[in-house]
């Protein structure tokens, strides 16, 4: 439910349409009818620009979608907002992690908020981007499980508690004064003179290393060890450790020193650890929060565990310190590829944890893992109204059990899912929505569950919007037929798809009539989707006429929709209306950046939501046991990730559901 609201919200980036409704529609219409690509008026272009912008944003903000081909953390192009917010990057070893996804989502939410602020404060936000950004979407679209749909359906998790960001640069406000920062805070340089032997200059990063990463790692390159020394210390420290001392010498401060290769923790007495380091050496520092240990690397080689028993509740900031004039260090928090193969180290950790999970015995299922899974699947199918599947599955399970028992009359433990009228009715409603026949779904719902639409106005609204979208889809199809691409196959393929549609529609034809009579409903002929006509007429002229009619009806329905909901004070309703209406602006919306709204897969969430509402109205649980199992799993894993435990290495969705 959340999901859709968010997607509406995101799509309606412009927000300017509402105030310009009149000209927008007429402009859009002439557009639609003439289908002349040169007739873009100013307004539709600005919609275009805005929506592309939005798009940009969408395609960059979903961690799973792009396939990153470089080893480095990737930088996100942020269109016009780059100056206002630092670019977002994900260190290579954290890619695909749950924490990276969360950070990305919160970053995106900030961007949206910022853009909304901008669009209300400066009226001319158009002409920011060109159509090239839609390329991204086409890359995402083909998928065996409907990624585009995913883009629409998946809500950004609205994070109540702030997500811990990772370090991005040295902190200008958290440095010793002798130390100067350059290159956007990536370069730290000792300038000035050393006053006493013990005095040093240190700087901390802008954020502590987040425990939720499981392992956090960064590297520095010694640009220059200065004239007469290489007293450089690399490590981490708590937020209150004095910056006038070399890291490692104070309580809560840990470091590896270049001049002697020793490690220091909380004291000025070092322990021999690794080689010395100097100019052009790359030194890495990492914490494994699961084991509470820290390690260093030099020029890509692991030097082993340096510190154990780190404090569990202390925020550790990457810290570097130096003593001699000219000493210069450049930091890499993941913006660039690392010298050490930290990706492999993290991957090994993940693999070990996954192997442990695979060995886990499911002990809290009294009848064993198989029986539990059978029940979960069977209950889900029945609960969500997949009646035929539930039946077939139960038959196959019973078959299997019989074979195993080698006894025809054996008692079969699997309980056949209880079937009832409700399941069948819900199945009918779902099928209608999945076929795009929203009217039928509305009718069935009103007939069987009169209170549901009344009590769930938001669902009713979404169904009405979906109907509008289906009408626009229809217009697009008809329009495509009016201007057929001159390939010999085009006509036939159109005919077969229509045939298919028709056959599914006729199955319930009698029932439809009956129901109409019972209800005393007289529906106007659904001519916007008049299937019989489609089959008979192949005439372009007729098609044009039908296209015209469909367009008129779509507009008519749109007006009706607007009249019904225009005064609705809810923000999401307004947004949804704006989005949906924005679709009319395109000759063929399927080619536009708003195409995701038109995806057939967009029917699924509407169908699911209605199904859940019906279940609730019947006093049944709105979610199946399998759903609850996944919820619990996610929540448990999050518990295990927050303190840097093993859960930090698990992304339930990516690693287990995908």
Partner 1 sequence: MSSSTVSVSAATPTLHPFQRKVDDIKPSKTDINFVIMDYLVSEGYPRAAERFAKEANLQLPHDEESIQSRVEIRRAIHVGDIDTAITKINDLNPQILDTDPALHFALLRLQLIELIRTCTSSATSDITPALNFASSQLAPRAATNQEFLRDLELTMSLLIFLPATETLQKELTELLEPSLRRNVASKVNEAVLTSMGAHGEARMRSVVRLRQWAETKARAAGKDIPPSLLLGLQDADERPANGNTEATDVMVQ
Residues 93-122 that bind partner 1 (CB under 8 A): none
182 binds partner 1 (CB under 8 A): no
Scanning residues 229 to 288, which ones bind partner 1 (CB under 8 A)? none
395 binds partner 1 (CB under 8 A): yes
| 220 strand-pairing partners | 283, 331
367 binds partner 1 (CB under 8 A): no
**CB 416, min distance to partner 1, A:** 13
Q: Which is nearer to partner 1, 198 or 396 (CB)?
A: 396
Q: Which is nearer to partner 1, 239 or 413 (CB)?
A: 413
- For residues 325 and 191, the answer to whether their CB atoms sit within 8 Å is yes
**CB 603, min distance to partner 1, A:** 8
What residue has token string 């929709």?
561
187 binds partner 1 (CB under 8 A): no
- For residues 266 and 250, the answer to whether their CB atoms sit within 8 Å is yes
**CB 604, min distance to partner 1, A:** 6
608 binds partner 1 (CB under 8 A): yes
Q: Which is nearer to partner 1, 566 or 657 (CB)?
A: 657
What residue has token string 């958290």?
174
523 binds partner 1 (CB under 8 A): no
* Distance separating alpha carbons of residues 626 and 618, to the nearest angstrom: 20
Pick the closest to residue 325 from 186, 229, 184, 249 (CA basis).
Answer: 229
Q: Helix, strand or coil for residue 172?
A: strand
393 binds partner 1 (CB under 8 A): yes
State the binding string over 422-441 for partner 1 (x if CB under 8 A, else -).
-----x--xx--x-------
Q: Which is nearer to partner 1, 139 or 628 (CB)?
A: 628
* Distance separating alpha carbons of residues 142 and 145, to the nearest angstrom: 9
Q: Which is nearer to partner 1, 431 or 575 (CB)?
A: 431
Alpha helices (runs of H) in 525-570, residue ranges in sequence order: 531-536, 540-565
# residues contacting partner 1 (CB under 8 A): 96
Cβ-Cβ contacts under 8 Å for 251 (sequence gap 6 or more) = 241, 266
DSSP 234-301: EEEE-TTS-TTS-TTSSTTEEEEETTT-EEEESSS--EE-S----TT-EEEEEEETTTTEEEEEETTE
Cα Dmax for the chain: 98
Cβ-Cβ contacts under 8 Å for 144 (sequence gap 6 or more) = none
> Which position among 45, 549, 562, 653 is part of the footprint of partner 1 (CB under 8 A)?
653
163 binds partner 1 (CB under 8 A): no
What does R_g of the chain's alpha carbons equal in angstroms?
Answer: 31
Q: Which is nearer to partner 1, 109 or 155 (CB)?
A: 155
β-pairing, 232-237 vs 201-205, is unpaired
364 binds partner 1 (CB under 8 A): yes
Scanning residues 328 to 357, which ones bind partner 1 (CB under 8 A)? 356-357
**CB 223, min distance to partner 1, A:** 43
636 binds partner 1 (CB under 8 A): yes
**CB 432, min distance to partner 1, A:** 12
> Which position among 199, 400, 508, 516 is part of the footprint of partner 1 (CB under 8 A)?
400
**CB 106, min distance to partner 1, A:** 15
- The pair of structure tokens assigned to 465 is 């919007």
Interface region with partner 1, contact rule CB under 8 A, candidates 35-43, 113-121, 279-287, 643-651: 643-651
387 binds partner 1 (CB under 8 A): yes
Scanning residues 125 to 154, which ones bind partner 1 (CB under 8 A)? 144-146, 149-150, 153-154
Q: Which is nearer to partner 1, 4 or 547 (CB)?
A: 4
Interface region with partner 1, contact rule CB under 8 A, candidates 47-55, 189-197, 303-311, 611-619: 611-619
- The pair of structure tokens assigned to 526 is 């659904």
What residue has token string 């009217």?
439
Q: Which is nearer to partner 1, 21 or 293 (CB)?
A: 293
**CB 65, min distance to partner 1, A:** 14
Scanning residues 215 to 234, which ones bind partner 1 (CB under 8 A)? none
> Which position among 128, 372, 412, 482 is part of the footprint of partner 1 (CB under 8 A)?
372
- Which H/E stretch holds residue 320? strand 317-322
> Which position among 41, 224, 299, 458 is part of the footprint of partner 1 (CB under 8 A)?
458
**CB 97, min distance to partner 1, A:** 16
- The pair of structure tokens assigned to 587 is 């000759």
| 284 strand-pairing partners | 219, 297
* Distance separating alpha carbons of residues 174 and 207, to the nearest angstrom: 11
379 binds partner 1 (CB under 8 A): yes
* Distance separating alpha carbons of residues 499 and 397, to the nearest angstrom: 36
Q: Which is nearer to partner 1, 417 or 561 (CB)?
A: 417
- For residues 27 and 70, the answer to whether their CB atoms sit within 8 Å is no
> Which position among 38, 69, 272, 406 is part of the footprint of partner 1 (CB under 8 A)?
406
> Which position among 249, 380, 449, 461 is part of the footprint of partner 1 (CB under 8 A)?
380
SS (H, E, C) 394-443: HHHHHHHHHHHHCCCCCCCCCCCCCCCHHHHHHHHHHHHHHCCCHHHHHH
645 binds partner 1 (CB under 8 A): yes
What residue has token string 């900031």?
317
Q: Which is nearer to partner 1, 444 or 603 (CB)?
A: 603
> Which position among 231, 310, 381, 423 is part of the footprint of partner 1 (CB under 8 A)?
381
- For residues 236 and 210, the answer to whether their CB atoms sit within 8 Å is no
640 binds partner 1 (CB under 8 A): yes
Pick the closest to residue 436 from 460, 467, 478 (CA basis).
Answer: 467
360 binds partner 1 (CB under 8 A): yes
Using CA atoms of 271, 275, 276, 282 in order, give the dihedral in degrees to the nearest 10: -120
């Amino acid at each position: 439910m959340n999901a859709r609201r968010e997607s509406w919200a995101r799509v309606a980036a412009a927000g300017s349409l509402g105030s310009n409704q009149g000209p927008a529609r007429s402009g859009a219409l002439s557009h639609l009818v003439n289908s002349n690509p040169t007739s873009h008026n100013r307004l539709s272009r600005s919609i275009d620009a805005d929506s592309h912008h939005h798009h940009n944003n969408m395609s960059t903000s979903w961690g799973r979608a792009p396939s990153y081909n470089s080893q480095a953390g990737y930088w996100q192009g942020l269109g016009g907002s780059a100056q206002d917010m630092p670019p977002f990057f994900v260190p290579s070893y954290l890619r695909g992690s749950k924490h990276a996804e969360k950070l990305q989502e919160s970053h995106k939410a900030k961007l949206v908020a910022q853009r909304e602020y901008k669009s209300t404060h400066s009226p001319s936000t158009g002409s920011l981007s060109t159509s090239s950004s839609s390329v991204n979407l086409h890359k995402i679209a083909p998928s065996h499980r409907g990624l585009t749909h995913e883009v629409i359906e998946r809500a950004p998790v609205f994070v109540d508690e702030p997500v811990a960001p990772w370090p991005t640069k040295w902190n200008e406000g958290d440095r010793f004064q002798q130390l100067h920062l350059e290159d956007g805070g990536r370069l730290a340089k000792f300038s000035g003179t050393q006053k006493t032997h013990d005095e040093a200059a240190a700087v901390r990063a802008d954020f502590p290393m987040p425990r939720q990463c499981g392992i956090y790692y960064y590297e520095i390159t010694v640009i220059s060890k200065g004239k007469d020394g290489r007293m450089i210390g690399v490590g981490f420290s708590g937020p209150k450790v004095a910056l006038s001392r070399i890291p490692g010498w104070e309580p809560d401060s840990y470091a590896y020193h270049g001049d002697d290769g020793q490690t220091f923790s909380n004291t000025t007495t070092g322990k021999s650890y690794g080689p010395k380091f100097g100019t052009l050496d790359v030194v890495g520092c990492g914490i494994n929060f699961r084991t509470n240990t820290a390690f260093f690397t030099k020029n890509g080689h692991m030097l082993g565990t340096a510190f154990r028993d780190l404090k569990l509740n202390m925020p550790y900031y990457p810290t570097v310190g130096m003593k001699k004039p000219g000493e210069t260090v450049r930091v890499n928090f993941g913006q660039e590829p690392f010298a050490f193969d930290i990706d492999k180290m993290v991957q090994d950790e993940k693999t070990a944890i996954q192997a442990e999970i695979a060995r886990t015995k499911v002990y809290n299922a009294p009848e064993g893992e198989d029986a539990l899974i059978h029940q979960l699947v069977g209950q889900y199918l029945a609960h969500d109204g997949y009646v035929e599947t539930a039946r077939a599955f139960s038959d196959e399970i019973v078959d299997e059990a019989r074979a195993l028992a080698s006894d025809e009359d054996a008692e079969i433990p699997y309980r056949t899912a209880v079937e009832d009228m409700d399941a069948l009715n819900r199945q009918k409603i779902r099928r209608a929505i999945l076929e795009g026949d929203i009217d039928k779904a509305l009718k069935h719902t009103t007939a069987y569950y009169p209170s549901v639409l009344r009590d769930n106005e938001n669902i009713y609204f979404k169904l009405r919007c979906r109907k509008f979208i289906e009408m626009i889809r229809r217009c697009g199809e008809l329009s495509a037929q009016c201007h057929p691409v001159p390939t010999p196959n085009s006509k036939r393929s159109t005919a077969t798809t229509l045939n298919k549609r028709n056959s599914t529609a006729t199955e319930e034809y009698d029932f439809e009539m009956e129901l109409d009579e019972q209800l005393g409903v007289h529906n106007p002929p659904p001519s916007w989707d008049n299937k019989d006509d489609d089959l008979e007429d192949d005439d372009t002229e007729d098609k044009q006429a039908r296209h015209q009619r469909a367009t008129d009806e779509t507009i008519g329905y749109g007006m009706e929709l607007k009249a019904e909901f225009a005064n609705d004070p809810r923000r999401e309703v307004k947004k949804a209306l704006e989005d949906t209406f924005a679709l009319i602006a395109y000759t063929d919306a399927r080619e536009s950046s708003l195409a995701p709204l038109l995806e057939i897969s967009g029917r699924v969430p509407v169908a699911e939501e209605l199904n859940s509402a019906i279940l609730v109205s019947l006093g049944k649980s709105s979610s199946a046991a399998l759903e609850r199992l996944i919820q619990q799993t996610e929540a448990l894993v999050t518990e295990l990730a927050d303190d840097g435990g093993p859960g930090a290495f698990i992304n339930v969705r990516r690693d287990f559901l995908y």
